[in-house]
Homo-oligomer: A and B are copies of this chain.
Amino acid sequence: MIQTRVLPPAQEAYQYPLLIKRVFQTGLRYETQREICYRGEKRFTYREFGERVHRLANVLTEAGVKPGDTVAVMDWDSHRYLECMFAIPMIGAVLHTLNVRLSPDQLLYTINHAEDKLVLINDEFLPLFKAIEDKMTTVESTLLISDAGNTTADLPNLKGEYEALLAAASTSYEFPDFDENSVATTFYTSGTTGNPKGVYFTHRQLVLHTFALATSCGSFDNNRLFGSNDVYMPITPMFHVHAWGIPYAATMLGIKQIYPGRYEPNLLVRLIKNEKVTFSHCVPTILGMVLGADEAKGHDFGGINIIIGGSALNKSLYKQAKSAGIQLTAAYGMSETGPLIAFAYLNDQVLAGSEDEKISTLVKAGMPVPLVDARVVDANGNSLPHDDKSQGELVLRAPWLTQAYFNEPEKSAELWEGGWLHTGDVAAIDSMGYVDIRDRIKDVIKTGGEWLSSLELEDLISTHEGVREVAVIGLPDPQWGERPYAVIVPQAGATITAQVVKEHLAPSVEAGVINKWGIPTQIAVVTEIPKTSVGKLDKKRIRTDMTSWKEQNSPFLSAL
């Protein structure tokens, strides 16, 4: 480290840590009357929300929660979840957002591994909780949440029901100052192998992430995504990277917020219509679900901005959404990265281009947001040129990346090998700095001595009008190393065969976009493609399925 000039502060008291309470205070200062709304049924002004966060802090403290303790939440997306996102870290405790889509065993693993002390639980999840209750090793008490109005339940050391406890609590709580490097939130990411891994974020990290998000989405005019007058509804679960951290930014700006509870497609569309939602975010699968809802038929969404992340955005979904009045913008991030790393900002050069060039940029991972350092490296860790051609692993530095996997020193060392966070994604960066994700390292198909991107192949196949959804995987092949296989859900009434796919891909082979090894010799036509608990294509499962179908010569298959 070089010797710069570092001067001591006049007093220790000068130290001003970056704490989540500052984000909270800012929002309440700017807005008192706007609403935080749950399913269109319950409404709270920012002033009421502020009081409820103070009440919740008192409830938690009286329930025995101490600074450093971990408090788990098991709820649908709600105003309550938002209250927990502030109150729990603001008293110095750690918020553990439980992934309710995990298997009971995995859920149990995360509760024990994170050392949860108190669990707030919506009674709709009681059966799941009861099934694993006996094996919990650290949970000391529970708090009941009930949309049905139940005030008690068969739960261990139940401290009471959320609304009743809040109503009885004081609206005054002095949130303390503490080290900005204190852990504020944690949650588990389910990899393709082994147990879920715990990532965690500190107060400093969440504050900086909030600023980077607000600045990226509010100040870059070429495709400005939101400002304080927007109406926000997440369609990414709050247990998943705290809904991408966007509720923190929305609260800081005093934005009207809508929380939809569980993701019923017709309810989501109704909320968008009735609450005049102008800004949201989701994974492609959920967007497909929303677009397919009865309530969405023939509806013009009026230019609502939706950020797409989690999986690659393809052009056909972009165009389908556009025709329904939805402006999509891709973003890139992952559980380990807070998540925001890049979003598809259009610079002046792109903006001056054709509509098709603009769309090509809007569906890319995008431009790294303020403060992020993104590089592509080869297998030896050497930086590759930004020429849009050189592909390598995307590695990152930024102020809000998880510092490690909780209590997993080996996996942590692998994640941070060489001092850079390894994303496991294969990417290329162009001369302007746009990052284009080409594949997951483990999803790259090595065929005939060439690397073939399963993502690119999915994108090409998806542009066939008869294809509703597609996943491409590689399977071992004695002659070619690996060969690509496609699993396809056709549009209603469409007939898709391996021959149809081959003909559709022929122009891309001629144009040199893919080589001829890229044409799948075998496809499976199915009614549904397996997804992970966060809605991504479950390639591990798809690979297993495809292997067994091949062995069984399944009737789903179509070969050339």
Contacts and interface: CB of A to CB of B under 8 A. Distances in A.
A65 interface: no
Interface stretch (A177-185, A286-294, A480-488, A511-519): A177-185
Contacts of A176: 2
B16 A399 contact: yes
B252 A68 contact: no
A29 interface: yes
Contacts of A367: 29-30
A67 B228 CA distance: 41
A6 B181 contact: yes
A17 B513 CA distance: 41
Complex copy number for this chain: 2
Interface string A177-221: 111011100000000000000001010000110011011011111
A94 B7 contact: no
Contacts of A432: 29, 32
A412 interface: yes
Contact of A227 (B6, B25, B32, B224): B224
A202 B5 CA distance: 9
A222 B227 CA distance: 9
B222 A229 contact: yes
Interface stretch (A73-81, A261-269, A344-352, A533-541): A344-352
Contacts of A18: 208, 371, 399
B16 A94 contact: no
Interface string A393-429: 0000111010110100100110110111000000000
A118 B241 CA distance: 49
A335 to B, nearest CB: 15
B221 A348 contact: no
A237 interface: no
Given A22-B370, A30-B367, A68 B10 contact: no
Nearest to A66: B3
B183 A33 contact: no
A127 interface: no
A368 interface: yes
Given A219-B227, A224-B227, A179 B4 contact: yes
A416 B6 contact: no
A284 B371 CA distance: 35
A13 B179 CA distance: 20
A202 B34 CA distance: 37
Nearest to A420: B13
Contacts of A221: 227-230
Contacts of A420: 13
13 contacts: A4-B179, A6-B181, A6-B182, A9-B404, A10-B409, A14-B416, A22-B371, A30-B367, A215-B252, A218-B218, A221-B227, A221-B228, A221-B230
Given A18-B208, A26-B370, A211-B370, 17 more contacts: A3-B67, A5-B183, A6-B182, A13-B416, A13-B419, A14-B401, A14-B403, A14-B419, A26-B369, A26-B371, A29-B368, A29-B432, A32-B349, A215-B219, A215-B253, A218-B227, A220-B227
Top 10 closest A-B pairs, CB basis?
A13-B419, A218-B219, A4-B182, A221-B229, A10-B404, A9-B403, A211-B211, A10-B412, A221-B227, A26-B370
